[in-house]
Amino acid sequence: MKSKRTSLVHLIYFSRLTLSNDPALRAKQIGDITRHAQKKNEFAVITSFLIVDQNFAIQVIEGERQSVNETFQRIAADSRHRDVQIVEWREIAKREFVSSFTTVSRNTANEPHFAKSGLLPMLQRGTPKGSVIHGLAVTLQEESMAKQGIDHLFV
């Protein structure tokens, strides 16, 4: 008998971070979120990618439908960000992201990818496209994996 895989979905949302403007404190706050989310996502078999651009947080969450819904309920109730808005929620054939929780912030090294995507103006207008977020996240992941010498997975 053919075994049926449980249904995989991805959820993409964006929000406005309410973290400190002090770079050191902010880095610590993002570190706290990362450590906790990594553990929780591993347990729930969630893979995810979080992009931080200025005060915008943009996250792709992948996994089994129920796990993604439960995780998102918790995230949406977190006071470290506000105005949490879902951009896209749909079934996917396979996962695109390899780790339980990776965060990439806009910086001088990855600036060209952010600029080329045109995501920031879309966020400022409040109408980011799921395909643009997804494309940027995949590009940033590829770049970070290539730096670690794991680019053969993505040919």
Ligand X SMILES: Cc1cc2nc3c(=O)[nH]c(=O)nc-3n(C[C@H](O)[C@H](O)[C@H](O)COP(=O)(O)O)c2cc1C
Binding site for ligand X (CB under 6 A): 33, 36-37, 40-41, 48, 50, 57, 59, 61, 71, 74-75, 78, 80-81, 101
Our CB check for ligand X shows the closer of 38 and 139 to be: 38
| Distance in angstroms (rounded) separating the CA atoms of residues 82 and 145 | 30
Task: Write a three-state SS string for 43-75.
Answer: HHCCEEEEEEECCEEEEEEEEEHHHHHHHHHHH
CB of 103 to ligand X, least distance (A): 8
| Rg (the chain; Cα; Å) | 15
Our CB check for ligand X shows the closer of 42 and 151 to be: 42
| Distance in angstroms (rounded) separating the CA atoms of residues 19 and 57 | 11
Our CB check for ligand X shows the closer of 61 and 136 to be: 61
Contact present, 96 and 140 (Cβ < 8 Å) = no
CB of 60 to ligand X, least distance (A): 10
| Distance in angstroms (rounded) separating the CA atoms of residues 56 and 61 | 16
CB of 136 to ligand X, least distance (A): 16
Our CB check for ligand X shows the closer of 10 and 81 to be: 81
